[in-house]
Amino acid sequence: MTERVQDLDEAELLTRIFAVLGSASAASTLLGPGDDSAIVAAADGRFTISTDLLVEGHHFRRDWSSGYDIGWRAAMQNMADAAAMGARPTALTVGLVLPADTEVAFVQELARGFVDAGGPWALDVVGGDLVAGPCLMVAVTVTGDLGAAPAVLRSGARPGDVLALAGRCGWSAAGLAVLGSGRLDETVTRTHPQVRAVIEAFRRPVAAIAEGVAARPHAHAMMDVSDGLVRDAARIAAASGVSIELREPEIALARDAELLGAVAEFLGDPGLVRAWLLGGGEDHAMLAAFPADAVPAGFAPVGAVKARAGQAPAVTVAGAEPHVRGWDHFRR
C-alpha cells in the first residue's frame, strides 16, 4: 500500500524527512532543527535573508516536475537571491503545506532535491514547518554570508559600466514551452539532446550562484534573472537611475541562442529564440554591472549602462524599445 502523509503523525513524518536530510553538519549551523529556533553563524555581524514561495498549479505542476525537481528548484531559486547580493548561502528553512493524500515518498524526494541543490554550498535545512493544506506549497527562506564585504545592490550601476550575464538564458522558458506544447514523447529526448537539456533546465535550474559570490569584489550592481532579461535589466536601470542598452541577444548570447534555436526548430517557430532570450526567466542567471575593465570570467557582456536621458526608454535592445512582458502573478 502506498504510504501517505495522513498515515503518519507529524513526528513520524519528520523522522522520514530527516532520514533524507541527514544530521545538520554545516560549519555555519550552530544549532540544527529540533528546538524552537535554529542558530546560524554570521561571522561578520550581519546576514542576508530572502523568502520565496512556490505554489502548485502556479509555479509547478506535479505532472511536469517530480518531488525532487520541486525541492531542487525551490532551493536553487532561493539560494540565487543570496548570491545576487554577493552572499554565500549559509542556511535554509523550509515550510511545506501538504495535502493529506501526498505520498510520503514524494515528500522524501522533495527533501532530497533540497539536499542535492544545496550540496555544493555545504548548508543545512536548519528548520521548517509541516502543515496540512489544500495544495502543495513550498516556502523557503535562505540566509547568506557577505564575508565582511559590502553587499552588491541593484542600485549601483554607473554610466560606462558593462552589463554582463553569467549562467543560462532562456533555457527554462524553452523547457516550459516544450512541456506545454504536447509534442513531447519518449523518443524526443533521445533524438533531440537540446530539447532534453531545456526540459532539465526547467525542472532543475542551475543558478549561477558561484559566479554571483565571485562577482562581489567587482560588481557595481547585481541581481538574479527570474523574470526575464529585459524586465530585470529594467529593474537595475530603475534602481540605479540609468538606462541600459542591451545588445542583440542572439549575438551577445550566441551559445544560448544556438541551443534554443534547435528547440525552436523542433517547435516549428524560430521567432521563439529571441522571445526566450529576452523574456525567459527562472534560469537564475546573474545579471551584473561591472567597470568595463573588470568583467570577470564566466560573465558574457550583454549590454552597456548609459546615463538616463530625459524621455529615453530605460532599456533598449539593439537600439529599439523591446516588446516583451514579464510574468505577473496577480493581474488577469
Positions in 247-286 near a copy of itself (CB under 8 A)? none
Q: Per rule CB under 8 A, is residue 324 in the interface with a copy of itself? A: no
Name the minimum Å distance from CB 96 to a copy of itself.
8
Torsion angle of the four alpha carbons 99, 103, 106, 112, in this order, in degrees rounded to the nearest 10:
100
Of the candidate residues 141, 240, 243, 316, the single one contacting a copy of itself (CB under 8 A):
141
The region of 193-201, 221-229, 267-275, 292-300 touching a copy of itself under the rule CB under 8 A is: 221-229
Joined together, the cell numbers standing for residue 84 give 545576487
- Count Cα atoms within 13 angstroms, Cβ side, for 36: 0
The region of 131-139, 161-169, 192-200, 253-261 touching a copy of itself under the rule CB under 8 A is: 131-139
Is there a binding annotation on residue 86?
no
Query: What are the C-alpha distances in Å from 79 to residues 74, 88, 184?
Result: 9, 8, 31
At residue 166, what are phi and psi to the nearest 5 degrees? -120, 135
Of the candidate residues 22, 46, 269, 312, the single one contacting a copy of itself (CB under 8 A):
46
Q: Find the helix packing angle between 171-181 and 193-203, rounded to 10°.
A: 100
Name the minimum Å distance from CB 130 to a copy of itself.
7
Q: Per rule CB under 8 A, is residue 210 in the interface with a copy of itself? A: no
Joined together, the cell numbers standing for residue 14 give 519528520
Is there a binding annotation on residue 124?
no
Name the minimum Å distance from CB 301 to a copy of itself.
21
Of the candidate residues 19, 27, 31, 251, the single one contacting a copy of itself (CB under 8 A):
31
Integer Cα distance of 9 and 100 in angstroms: 11
Count of residues near a copy of itself by CB under 8 A: 77
Integer Cα distance of 111 and 205 in angstroms: 16
Q: Per rule CB under 8 A, is residue 188 in the interface with a copy of itself? A: no
Q: Coil, strand, or helix at residue 159? A: coil
Nearer to a copy of itself, 83 or 195 (CB): 83
Residue 187 contacts by C-beta under 8 Å, 6 or more apart in sequence? none
Contact 206, 76 (CB under 8 A): yes
Site for a copy of itself in 79-118 (CB under 8 A): 80-82, 84-85, 87, 91, 93-98, 100
Cα Dmax for the chain: 68
Site for a copy of itself in 282-321 (CB under 8 A): none
Residue numbers in the known binding site for Mg(2+) are 36, 50-52, 81, 129, 224, 227
Residue numbers in the known binding site for substrate are 59, 282, 327
